[in-house]
Amino acid sequence: MSTQIPETESQGYGTAKGFCITASFWMVIATLYGLTTAIEFIAPDLLGNISWLQFGRIRPIHTNLVIFGFVTPGLLAVGHYIVPKLLRTRLYSEKLGIFLVLLWNIMLAAIVVTLATGHTQGREYAEAIWPIDILVAVIFVLMFYNMAMTIKHRNEPILYVSVWYITSAVILTAFVYCIGNVIWVPHAGALTGIPDAIILWFYGHNVLGLLLTPLAVGIAYYVIPSVCRTPLYSHTLSLVGFWSLLILYSHIGTHHIIQAPVPTWLKVISIVGSIGMIIPVLVVLINLWFTAKGKLAEIHANIGAKFVFTGTIIYLFTCIQGPMQSLPQVQRLTHFSNWVVAHAHMGVLGFSGMIAIGGIYFILPRLTGKPIFSRALADFQYWMILIGLSGFMVTLTMAGLVQGNSWLNGETVYRILPQMHMYNIVRGSMGFLIVVGAVIGLYNIIRSLFFNPGESL
Ligand code: HEM
Ligand code: HEM
């Protein structure tokens, strides 16, 4: 078997291509579920009593699909291009990779069907039932095997930082997923009481911190220097960023349940760690932005890099807000309110989702040997998502502050609902723009891959 790096998709990269299609397709479905959920906030009786369209069922379908259907496969698509490229070898087994793409899609379909029919573990981001948990674990272990064997057969002795980030995200998630879903208790997928809350948020937090974040950062570390045609500003900083992320992020999940009767020492660790997170975040951003210094024209000219760079800016906003809202005084006001939903969309869509889409646009010409189908459509998608997301951030943050203040003043939840109505309408409208962006992205990506009239590069 040749270990030479393939030039284009026709010579390989089937796994990367498969994950590109997966991410762009499920982004449309996921955002449609999000929009339906938002409409139910505006008109709760609109969809009647149809069981599979009830809020409690479609909300977790939305959250599972955005994380596991759109952002993760989008980032994995790029990871399956970058890792072999940096190692100057082929992916160890494209057949295995494509098989895993198929399994991944079966897993997503199973999540939709089981949650729609009311089969759930009832724990946020861990709703999928036991057989699906096993499938997820198997996929991550096999994916790590494929990447580890690629590393073993590499032609490049240096393991660049993107390879560290991407491979560690895959193997760490295999463990974190099994622990968080309590897979040794198949009938419940849960412990009881406070230990369950702690373990759940160890997991929920690390889906964001040890899966989405390292994949996204690893990709930004590849895309920005490539587009700027300049070496990374500092290799040492990249190592500091990697290890401080692993040391600080992994055990601070308790900051999600500071309002719960969790042991105080655990809360203190999570709050101190959350403030300390400023180190890995700033180190990564300083490194990336100094690499791009004086090269913003290059970033702007490449649509993939434009998405990725925007993602890094939103990463800063998210991670200024994150440590702040882990402080008990702040969280007393913001917890349970739309403020957190704003933060969630900022992090998952604005940071990791933007980098996933940008990464896909960056690799498409390299997979096909042709430019992307339409730069204009990609730009339009960029603005739809950026405007929609900014609208989300402003509206939901304001709504959250109104909710939090009212509740602290002793108001009941239902008495605030009339005040929420206008915010909900704006959120729905902004969400519609994001859905439009998702549909355009699917069309552009499919045309780029299969029906692309462009001249070969
Ligand atoms: C310095 C980094 C960060 C810190 C310290 C932080 C902190 C927090 C805290 C304290 C909460 C809980 C708020 C509450 O429930 O009252 C939270 C929620 C959340 N964060 Fe972050 N965050 C950070 C970065 C990120 C990033 C990068 C992402 C996305 C990749 C993200 C995604 C989320 C999501 C989705 C939630 C909502 C979880 C839920 O469903 O309740 N965060 N964050
Ligand atoms: C791909 C883009 C999107 C991503 C990554 C995303 C991510 C998320 C996440 C992580 C949550 C959980 C928030 C939490 O528990 O704090 C959530 C909830 C939600 N999302 Fe999205 N979302 C996206 C697009 C949309 C769109 C287009 C809409 C349409 C308006 C939407 C509407 C909602 C609603 C209504 C909730 C439930 C909020 C609640 O329970 O109060 N999302 N989304």
Q: What is the pLDDT of residues 240-266, one digit of tens each?
A: 999 999 999 989 999 999 999 999 999
- SS3 call for 403: helix
pLDDT score of 3 = 56
The CA distance from 218 to 7, in Å, is 22
The CA distance from 302 to 375, in Å, is 9
What is the band of 9 on the pLDDT scale with cuts at 50, 70, 90?
A: very low
| Cα of 72 from ligand 2 centre, angstroms | 16
290-337 residue pLDDT tens: 999 999 999 999 999 999 999 999 999 999 999 999 999 999 999 999
What tokens were used for 68? 């596991």
- Residues with Cβ within 8 Å of 397's Cβ and at least 6 positions away in sequence, in order, are 338, 339, 342
Angle between helices 375-408 and 338-345 (to 10 degrees): 160
- Pocket residue to mutate for ligand 1, from 266, 343, 396, most atoms within 8 A of Cβ: 343
| Cα of 341 from ligand 2 centre, angstroms | 7
86-123 residue pLDDT tens: 999 999 999 999 999 999 999 999 999 999 999 999 99
Residue 435 alpha carbon, nearest atom of ligand 2:
27
- SS3 call for 3: coil
pLDDT score of 240 = 96
Number of H helices, E strands in the chain: 18, 0
Other beta carbons less than 10 A from residue 243's beta carbon: 12
Residue 249 alpha carbon, nearest atom of ligand 1:
2
Nearest ligand to the CA of 33 is 2
- Burial letters 376-391, b for 16+ CB under 10 A, else e: ebbebbbebbbebbeb
Look at residue 11 and tell me whether its pLDDT is greater than 60: no
334 lines ligand 2 (CB under 6 A): no
Q: How many CA atoms lie within 13 A of 386 on its CB side?
A: 16
Where is 424: in which H helix or E strand? helix 413-450
- Pocket residue to mutate for ligand 2, from 24, 55, 63, 402, most atoms within 8 A of Cβ: 63
341 lines ligand 2 (CB under 6 A): yes
User: Which residue, among 338, 335, 449, 394, has the nearest Cα to 23 in the 3D structure?
Assistant: 449
Dihedral angle sign, alpha carbons of residues 336, 342, 348, 351 = negative
Look at residue 2 and tell me whether its pLDDT is greater than 70: no
pLDDT score of 1 = 47
Other beta carbons less than 10 A from residue 205's beta carbon: 23
Give residue 209's identity as a one-letter amino acid code: G
Over residues 273-290, the mean pLDDT reads 97
pLDDT score of 400 = 98
Residue 30 alpha carbon, nearest atom of ligand 2:
1
Look at residue 5 and tell me whether its pLDDT is greater than 80: no
| Cα of 47 from ligand 2 centre, angstroms | 19
Residue nearest to ligand 1 atom 43, measured at CA: 322
DSSP assignment of 85-106 equals HHHTS--S-HHHHHHHHHHHHH
User: Which residue, among 364, 61, 362, has the nearest Cα to 223 in the 3D structure?
Assistant: 362
Residue 323 alpha carbon, nearest atom of ligand 1:
5
The CA distance from 154 to 93, in Å, is 13
Residue 51 phi, psi dihedral angles, 5° rounding = -60, -45
- Pocket residue to mutate for ligand 1, from 246, 321, 340, 403, most atoms within 8 A of Cβ: 340
Domain ranges of the chain: 9-450
Nearest ligand to the CA of 356 is 2
Residue nearest to ligand 1 atom 6, measured at CA: 322
Nearest ligand to the CA of 345 is 2
User: Which residue, among 356, 382, 367, has the nearest Cα to 449 in the 3D structure?
Assistant: 367
Residue nearest to ligand 1 atom 2, measured at CA: 319
Three-class DSSP labels, 289-306: HHHCCCCHHHHHHCHHHH
Residue nearest to ligand 2 atom 27, measured at CA: 431
373-429 residue pLDDT tens: 999 999 999 999 999 999 999 999 999 999 999 999 999 999 999 999 999 999 999
The CA distance from 6 to 146, in Å, is 17
Pocket around ligand 1: residues whose beta carbon is below 6 Å from it? 124, 208, 212-213, 255-256, 274, 277, 281, 318-319, 322-323, 325-326, 331, 334-335, 340, 343-344, 347-348, 351-352
Is the CB of residue 367 less than 8 Å from the CB of residue 378? no
349 lines ligand 2 (CB under 6 A): yes
The CA distance from 221 to 242, in Å, is 11
Residue nearest to ligand 1 atom 3, measured at CA: 322
Other beta carbons less than 10 A from residue 363's beta carbon: 26
pLDDT score of 218 = 98
The CA distance from 87 to 155, in Å, is 6
- SS3 call for 14: helix
Q: How many CA atoms lie within 13 A of 235 on its CB side?
A: 5
The CA distance from 361 to 372, in Å, is 7
Residue nearest to ligand 2 atom 30, measured at CA: 431
pLDDT score of 82 = 97
Residue with tokens 């937090």: 205
The CA distance from 277 to 271, in Å, is 10
Angle at 213 between CA 14 and CA 248, to 5 degrees: 140
Nearest ligand to the CA of 252 is 1
The CA distance from 88 to 32, in Å, is 39
354 lines ligand 2 (CB under 6 A): no
Q: Which fold has domain 9-450?
A: Cytochrome C Oxidase; Chain A (1.20.210)
Dihedral angle sign, alpha carbons of residues 352, 358, 360, 366 = negative
Global pTM? 0.96
User: Which residue, among 319, 307, 310, 250, has the nearest Cα to 283 in the 3D structure?
Assistant: 319
Percent of the chain exceeding pLDDT 70 equals 98
12-50 residue pLDDT tens: 799 999 999 999 999 999 999 999 999 999 999 998 889
DSSP assignment of 355-402 equals HHHHHHHHHHHHHHSS--S-HHHHHHHHHHHHHHHHHHHHHHHHHHHH
As a whole number, the mean pLDDT across the chain is 96
